[in-house]
Amino acid sequence: MRLAADGTVLAANDAALKLIGVTSGAQALGRDFSTWVPSDQRDRWTAFTTGVVQGHPASVECEIAAPSGDRQPTLFHGVPLTDHPDGVSSMAVAARAVSGQRQLEAAVIELEEQLRERDAERIKARARLAESEARQRELAGKVEAFEACLRPPGTDAEHDEVVRRLEAEIEARDAALGAAEAARCAAEAKAAQALADVQQLEVALDGFAARQKLMAAERAAERQRLAELTESAASRHEQSQNAARDSQECDRLAARLQERDAIVRGLEAALLEAQQALAEERDRGLADRVEHDALQLRHGEVLTACQKHEAALRQLEAAHASLAAAHASLTAEHDRLVRSLRQQVTHLEALANGFRAADTGADAQSAPGDFGSRGEEGLA
């Protein structure tokens, strides 16, 4: 755009008209550009235009208030124009929207926060896994103690108590395995979400690279236009020299040439600043790519941790199967001991009945007390 010293729009290309939300130049020419700047930022805009008109190229970031009410963050670069053919003191202003870059930066910050949260959750999952392994070792010790108790003969009450303890430990182990499985599923879901976030960041980075290329093309076109303006100024200066007739005219033309050289140097300085800004944005893009590689590395670490969790779960399942087999073996041994005891009780009852019958037949004349004592001796 070309703006007058008081901010009036003197000229604007199609990109500038689209940026301020108008469809034709007639809607913008002759109006004060500050009408598109929000009221809370007009002091900053006025200071910017005043400094540029006084001969100091500058930059400022303000918002443009569109007719729809939306605000568009925009970066302005201004250089003074003191030798325009119409003789009006004015400035050349280049505007570039920066909302996409702000959104990308916000997305990167949000993704980093999510990755930090997932790292914390992964640390918690590791702690839970370590606790589960400690419980597994404790259960293995209890099983060994139970096996040691089974080696010497014991009573049924002790056996039942040990079986109850083992069943309780197995139930607790099943609960721990369920919790570990749930944690593994949650970790897989979070890893999938992290992968989706990384893919979204890649798409955003590709869009940012495309915008950088477009900006580079716009800078090249702007340099070409400035070169054409410089050549036009040089040709006008040569024509003025040829038309000069006295030394006073030559001095005036020489002064104007010096002023134009100063303006060209100012434009070259502005171009240099634009190139530096473009290089900084390219460096930020490289930094974003490095962060993306780091995110991929973190994703690989999360997948490795999940694989380790699955291996640990398979080991826990194998231990659970071993405990179930031991429990079945103990149940069979318990049933066998119960049957043996029942057989011995039946046999003892039969022996007692036989002794009682034999004593009754042999000592029919004996006293009842004598029979009782003999029966007790037989039972003994």
Q: What's the confidence (pLDDT) of residue 48?
A: 92
Is the torsion defined by CA of 219, 221, 223, 225 positive or negative? negative
User: Element (H or E) spanning 6, and its range?
Assistant: none
Q: What's the confidence (pLDDT) of residue 94?
A: 92
Instruction: Identify the residue with better confidence: 361 or 134.
Output: 134
The rounded mean pLDDT for the chain is 76
pLDDT above 90 (res 241): no
> pLDDT tens for residues 90-129?
899 998 887 666 767 777 788 788 888 888 888 888 888 8
Instruction: Identify the residue with better confidence: 333 or 155.
Output: 333
**Number of domains, the chain:** 2
Phi, psi of 153 (to 5 degrees): -65, 145
**pLDDT range class, residue 371, cuts 50, 70, 90:** very low
pLDDT above 90 (res 144): no
Q: Are residues 93 and 108 in the same domain?
A: no
Task: Starting at the earlier edge strand, list the strands of the sheet with 9-11.
Answer: 9-11, 2-4, 90-97, 71-81, 58-65
> pLDDT tens for residues 165-200?
777 877 777 787 777 778 778 777 776 776 777 677
End-to-end Cα spacing for the chain = 123
Q: What's the confidence (pLDDT) of residue 362?
A: 56
Q: Are residues 50 and 152 in the same domain?
A: no
Q: Are residues 55 and 190 in the same domain?
A: no
Q: What's the confidence (pLDDT) of residue 92?
A: 92
Q: Are residues 186 and 293 in the same domain?
A: yes
Tell me the residue range of the domain where 266 lies.
104-335
Task: State the virtual CA torsion across 110, 112, 115, 117 in degrees, nearest 10.
Answer: -70
Q: What is the CATH number of the domain that holds 27?
A: 3.30.450.20
List the one residue out of 289, 255, 247 whose CA is nearest residue 297. 289
Task: State the virtual CA torsion across 310, 313, 318, 321 in degrees, nearest 10.
Answer: -130
